[in-house]
Amino acid sequence: MDQLQFFTRWLHVIAGIAWIGHLYFFNFVNVPLQASLDDAGKKAVNPKLLPRALWWFRWGAMLTFLTGLLLFILIYMYLPGAGFGANALLSGGGGRWIMWGMLFGSIMWFNVWFIIWPINRKILRGEMQPELIAAARRKAYLASRANAYLSAPMLLGMLAAGHMTAGFSYAALLGWGAVGMAVVYIAIFHAGKVGQEA
């Protein structure tokens, strides 16, 4: 069981790096790039860049989601010798931190699979009427921005379970979540300027 937990956690972290790395790529690098491209540039760049990036993005999200769910079951819903059923860890501070992290992560996963990816797939395949593209891109953009901001409290929930030894508190969730969102905001705000001087 320890080896299964270790392997699942390792896979969860690797997949999470791929997912959140692509999320930050889209928000910090690709959005400013797309704003600087004209229609001809988008037609030259996007068919080569976006399908590959979106593939890693969506499957990173799915693998992170599934391995996270499995980890939750193994750690919080299984008691060695007694079998399945909520154990005492779930009602403790760590369990509450994890559940908040899971909530934010689940919202992010939903945004990837049911908003961001379907819209981009239709646009890239030419399946969307031209007059609908601008509104659809805006919807995908807002879902991606929401995910960027939610990544801060999501990661807080995931990491706090093992490091906030005093237990769970809403003040810590709100405070540290706000700090994380502010860092993401600053990164997004400066994303268009970074690298221009290079």
pLDDT of residue 190: 79
Average pLDDT, the chain: 90
Higher-confidence position of 86 and 105: 105
- Alpha-carbon distance of 198 to 194, in angstroms, equals 8
Which tens digits make up the pLDDT trace of 52-77? Answer: 999 999 999 999 999 999 999 888 88
User: Which of 105, 103, 29, 1 minimizes the C-alpha distance to 62?
Assistant: 105
What is residue 83's three-state secondary structure? strand
Looking at per-residue pLDDT, the higher value among 172 and 86 belongs to: 172
Residue 105 forms part of a structural domain: yes
Domain annotation covers residue 164: yes
* Domain annotation covers residue 40: yes
Domain that holds residue 74: 2-191
Task: Give a yes or no: residue 197 inside a domain.
Answer: no
Task: Report yes or no on 140 lying in a domain.
Answer: yes
pTM of the predicted protein model: 0.89
If one counts the domains in the chain, the total is 1
Domain assignment of residue 113, yes or no: yes
Tell me if 144 sits within 8 A of 111, measured CB to CB: yes
**Residue 28 domain flag:** yes
Is residue 198 one of the residues assigned to a domain? no
